[in-house]
Amino acid sequence: MAQAEPIHIMGAGLSGLAAATTLAKAGLEVHVHDIRQDSGQRFDGDFQALENWSMDADFFDQLREWGYDPSEFKATEFTEVDLIHPDDEITKTYSPKVAYRIVERGTSKHTIDQGFKRMAIEAGANLHYKSRVKEEDCQIIACGPKGTSAVAYGEIFKTKHPNHIAFQMNDKLAPGSYSYLIIIDGIGLICTCLWRKQRGSDRFLNETIAWYQKHYPDIDIEPIKRVGGKGDFTINKNYFQDGRYYVGESGGLQDFMWGFGMRMAVWSGHLAAQDILGNCNYETEVRKQLMPYVKTSVANRFLMNRVGDRTFKYMCKAWMKDQKKRGDGLVWIGKLFRPRWYKSLLYLLVNPFMLKSDPKAMGRGVRRLPFRKAKKRDIWEQSEDAKKVAERWDSVRRSGGKTSFSETSD
Ligand SMILES: Cc1cc2nc3c(=O)[nH]c(=O)nc-3n(C[C@H](O)[C@H](O)[C@H](O)COP(=O)(O)OP(=O)(O)OC[C@H]3O[C@@H](n4cnc5c(N)ncnc54)[C@H](O)[C@@H]3O)c2cc1C
């Protein structure tokens, strides 16, 4: 149903700004409130990947179709990635199509956050930073994570090495998860994701950086800062409740297996705006368009929580076998992400005991993927090389290098 009242959106991130752009373009009065000083400040220079394998449609074509202009931000296209197996074997997977695009998050002009901010302003939305509003006073809730299901930490550095991407499955360096290396135009990021809660998480990042230094000796590293944050993975009873639309990470609309969430953030923001404009029913469309992917990812996460390096190795081998057969590495990874009847069945079986209800969710029936406990195998001593990485970072930090996360920050 079309409405003439001003729309208030909580959160000027990707989902909130996408919704604001669509609504303001349609002539509605839109106010976006963000507690931070600017869009993208949550991430502060982090590189993230816009995946392009979970469906046949190219994400940038989707963006254009929805009325967003991908040329507003810098995106570097990749057709290949180094796949690092848990036993340190390095292979390459590639595709004739765009496999993914790397974008920067943050407050610099070329970031995706600032691109979406410009689109919202251009469309006529009013943005209010350092503005604290109540959830009850907003129609769209787009404020990112509330709880913690997993965390990721990374070090950003200067390098002379050409653009390069590596993705590593290794249960020691990235418990239950993966680490990655991204180099774009002289700036690098080495990041590790922890799907099990650890004390002294720096240990994992230091060891991961030491690993990359050893196996990619031609990469020079001059650390600039450390970044990171938490991811919130929830299933909600309703995505539209008490007159409010829950979009992006606030609605738990992310990939539970590996944490990809930007595509669904923009998508859900767009759908919420379309509902307000009377063009669809948000609840119905989220369930039809997004939930099959979310449920598949819950099933995938359930399986991931039960395995370690032996299965990671099996996955890497299967991926490379499929790459050889088809000449396209996107097919195997795409299959992993796409809804299948057996994943839906597994979701039905496992989600009741895998997710824990959130008592603070204003009676919305939110169930969260808990941050799992560490395993015995997560306790190990840092190597000498990792200690050197820690010392190097310490000296950068003492001369002004910033860490934009704490164990509890988002
Ligand atoms: C370290 C890390 C790496 C990631 N890597 C990837 C990746 O490679 N690919 C990918 O697709 N996804 C990735 N993700 C997930 C992705 O970042 C999120 O899914 C996506 O940003 C969610 O968009 P959003 O609009 O819901 O939230 P955001 O874009 O984070 O925006 C939320 C906004 O709400 C604001 N806010 C918070 N609280 C309030 C409040 N009370 N009132 C008002 N405003 C508030 C915040 O300041 C922020 O501006 C990563 C996440 C993390 C933490």
- Kindly tell me the burial class for residue 141, based on how many C-beta atoms sit within 10 Å of its own C-beta (0-12, 13-18, 19 or more): buried
What number is the average pLDDT over the span 60-64?
98
For 217-272, the pLDDT digits (tens) are 999 999 999 998 899 999 999 999 999 999 999 999 999 999 999 999 999 999 99
**Closest ligand 1 atom, CA of 13?**
31
Do residues 372 and 196 touch, judged by C-beta distance below 8 A? yes
Q: How far apart are CA 255 and CA 246, in angstroms?
A: 16
Do residues 220 and 209 touch, judged by C-beta distance below 8 A? no
For residue 132, the tally of other CB atoms under 10 A from its CB is 9
pLDDT of 407 > 80? The answer is no
Rounded to 10 degrees, the C-alpha dihedral 73/255/92/76 comes to 0
For 362: left if phi > 0, alpha if psi spans -120 to 50, otherwise beta; the answer is left
**Ligand 1 binding pocket mutation candidate from 21, 35, 112, 337 (most atoms within 8 A of CB):** 35
Q: Is the CB of 223 under 6 A from ligand 1?
A: no
Centre of ligand 1 from the C-alpha of residue 398, in Å: 28
Q: Is the CB of 152 under 6 A from ligand 1?
A: yes
pLDDT of 76 > 90? The answer is yes
Q: How far apart are CA 115 and CA 103, in angstroms?
A: 11
Q: How far apart are CA 133 and CA 128, in angstroms?
A: 10
Q: Is the CB of 34 under 6 A from ligand 1?
A: yes
**Ligand 1 binding pocket mutation candidate from 8, 33, 48 (most atoms within 8 A of CB):** 48
For residue 88, the tally of other CB atoms under 10 A from its CB is 11
pLDDT of 350 > 50? The answer is yes
What number is the average pLDDT over the span 173-179?
96
Q: In angstroms, how far is the first alpha carbon of the chain from the final one?
A: 34
Higher pLDDT pick, 349 / 408: 349
Residue type, 41: Q
Task: Please tell me what DSSP assigns to residue 162.
Answer: P
Residues of the chain above pLDDT 70, percent: 98
> What is the predicted pLDDT for the residue at 11?
98
pTM of the predicted protein model: 0.96
Centre of ligand 1 from the C-alpha of residue 17, in Å: 12
Q: Of 370, 367, 366, 360, which Cα lies nearest the Cα of 241? A: 366
Q: What is the DSSP code string of 75-111? A: EEEESEEEEEPTTS-EEEEE-SS--EEEEE-SSSTTS
For 275-305, the pLDDT digits (tens) are 999 999 999 999 999 999 999 999 999 999 9
For 125-136, the pLDDT digits (tens) are 999 999 999 999
Centre of ligand 1 from the C-alpha of residue 13, in Å: 6
Q: Is the CB of 294 under 6 A from ligand 1?
A: no
> What is the predicted pLDDT for the residue at 194?
95
- DSSP H helical segments within 162-226, as ranges? 202-215
Do residues 30 and 122 touch, judged by C-beta distance below 8 A? no
Q: How far apart are CA 88 and CA 223, in angstroms?
A: 24
Closest C-alpha to ligand 1, atom 10: 260
Which of the four pLDDT bands, split at 50, 70 and 90, describes residue 362?
confident
Q: Is the CB of 368 under 6 A from ligand 1?
A: no
Residue type, 146: K
Task: Please tell me what DSSP assigns to residue 135.
Answer: G
Task: Please tell me what DSSP assigns to residue 181.
Answer: E
Q: Is the CB of 19 under 6 A from ligand 1?
A: no
Centre of ligand 1 from the C-alpha of residue 327, in Å: 34
Which of the four pLDDT bands, split at 50, 70 and 90, describes residue 122?
very high
Q: Of 264, 307, 11, which Cα lies nearest the Cα of 20? A: 11
- Token pair of 384, please? 């000498």
Centre of ligand 1 from the C-alpha of residue 144, in Å: 5
> What is the predicted pLDDT for the residue at 408?
56
**Closest ligand 1 atom, CA of 17?**
25
Q: Is the CB of 128 under 6 A from ligand 1?
A: no
Centre of ligand 1 from the C-alpha of residue 9, in Å: 15
Backbone angles phi, psi at 15, to 5 degrees: -70, -45
At 366, is the secondary structure helix, strand, or coil? strand
Centre of ligand 1 from the C-alpha of residue 269, in Å: 13
Q: Of 115, 373, 150, which Cα lies nearest the Cα of 256? A: 150
Reduce the secondary structure of 222-291 to three states and give it as a string.
Answer: EEEEEEEEEECCEEECCCEECCEEECHHHHCCCCCCCCCCHHHHHHHHHHHHHHHCCCCCHHHHHHHHHH
- Kindly tell me the burial class for residue 38, based on how many C-beta atoms sit within 10 Å of its own C-beta (0-12, 13-18, 19 or more): middle
